[in-house]
Amino acid sequence: MAEHEIETIVERRESIAGIPTLELDDAAGEVVIIDQTRLPGEVVLEHLRTREEAFRAIQRLEVRGAPAIGVFAAMALYLDARHWLEAHPTAASEDVWERLLETRAYLDSSRPTAVNLSWATRRMLTAVATDPTCSACTPLDPELMVDGLAREARAIRDEDVASCRAIGEHGLSLIADGFGVLTHCNAGRLCAVEYGTATAPIYLAKEHGMALRAYCDETRPLLQGARLTALELMAAGVDTTLLCDHMSNSLMATGAVDAIFVGADRIAANGDTANKIGTSMLALAAAEHGVPFYVCAPTSTFDATCATGADIPIEMRDPAEVTELHYAKRMAPAGVKVYNPAFDVTPARNIAAIVTEKGVLRPPFERSIAQALGIPTR
């Protein structure tokens, strides 16, 4: 189905308060998401049923953030199998399995850097294979497969909530009442089911009665910090200040920033971390000013197959995001070449600690990451 032919049900709300980032409506056979491309100007909920709609939602950043797209892809994979089996009630288990493999590859191709996406879809397939340790084995009965996919999608969703909450609790040990905390992009509740990753310690501090100052980089070119993080932190009653990305060095020089918390889209075995473009420059400024730089991510964001950050694939995006997307009219000369990577890699040497649901990992990261993942170390 061509993109212009996709029709999704939308509804509009006045506020994001109380609305989940994404939610599985099993009765309707839909995933309901907040379309994050419309924020902060309007709150639009999309009701998605097909794999084409799911692919578009991920690729166009209607749903975004490493934890969220993992949960979303799990839900989308389940619904696609369910709807396909409803349309083909006499299909054999091998036919459903082929559909699953095809849909998994299709969804995985929507964004290459965030490893949570392929992690979640691989886990979904493994859950319904005859051999639970094998993601390419003969599957169960078709109806049992769909039931198993539904259970696994809900489990991934529930684990994301618990994981982000645990990241917040562990991150809370790194801050104190009155701290100024700087963050980049959106690693808040809009990047997950609840709490988020880098903002989870801020939300937990709020719950514990601590008063923090939050500083949000605007995060060019897609402005996730300005459009999303500032919006959700203000909605939560957090003292929030917005700044352009290149102003963070100046802000740190004033002593206003006590700690920096950022999220991650993929973390290599040595601790090198891919996150939204601009993160590596922020880490360099933090090192210059002696401000601790923390990465917050669930262990599902680690990729032991990437030895270093050089092995992490970096997504290149549409030049129009830089030249015109968020402007009333084009702000660059027509025909100019544009360099627009979605992510950069922060070397492990510039990271003070990685905060996970299993605890705070410290250097040397090769050892602490391996221990967190249960990988034998020498």
Q: Write out the catalytic residue numbers.
A: 265
Of the candidates 217, 284, 278, 223, the one whose C-alpha atom is nearest the C-alpha of residue 244 is 217
**Residue 98 and residue 63: Cα distance in Å, rounded?**
26
**Residue 222 and residue 324: Cα distance in Å, rounded?**
11
Please give the C-alpha separations between residue 284 and each of 198, 211, 256, 293, 348, in angstroms, as whole numbers.
Answer: 18, 27, 17, 9, 12
Quick count: other Cβ atoms within 10 Å of Cβ 123?
A: 18
DSSP, res 64: -
Output the six-digit token pair for 231: 């919006």
**Residue 242 and residue 250: Cα distance in Å, rounded?**
13
Sign of CA dihedral 209, 210, 211, 216: negative
Beta bridge partners of 359: 356
Angle between helices 66-87 and 115-127 (to 10 degrees): 40
DSSP, res 228: I
Output the six-digit token pair for 221: 């070119």
Sign of CA dihedral 262, 267, 270, 272: negative
**Residue 46 and residue 55: Cα distance in Å, rounded?**
13
